């Protein structure tokens, strides 16, 4: 992909993405997993509106929830 793009445009390869849309991206190639974190963004927001010492809430999603791709043989959810 990089070679095809570089034939048409001048590019600089800066390596793997570390930050994207204020999210820290960490790669685990062995587990084939990507960890996304918005900690740095949240700290900036809390500091901007001086509420860095506020009480937090737990996330409503189970942190142990595993997301996976939709398989073709699985039935789609009822659209109604």
Q: What is the pLDDT of residues 10-51, one digit of tens each?
A: 988 888 888 888 888 888 888 888 888 888 888 888 889 888
CA distances from 26 to 14, 18, 31, 34 (A): 15, 7, 12, 6
Q: Would you kindly state where each structural domain of the chain is located, as residue ranges?
A: 1-80
Question: Among 19, 18, 22, 21, which Cα is nearest to 43's?
Answer: 22
The pTM score is 0.44
Q: What is the pLDDT of residues 42-56, one digit of tens each?
A: 888 888 988 878 887
Taking phi over 0 as left and psi of -120 to 50 as alpha, with beta for the rest, 52 belongs to alpha
């Amino acid at each position: 992909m990089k070679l095809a793009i570089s034939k048409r445009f001048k590019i600089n390869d800066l390596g793997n993405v570390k930050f994207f849309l204020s999210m820290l991206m960490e790669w685990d190639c062995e587990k084939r997993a990507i960890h996304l974190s918005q900690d740095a963004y949240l700290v900036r927001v809390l500091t901007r509106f001086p509420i860095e010492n506020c009480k937090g809430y737990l996330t409503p999603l189970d942190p142990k929830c595993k997301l996976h791709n939709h398989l073709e043989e699985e039935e789609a959810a009822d659209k109604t």
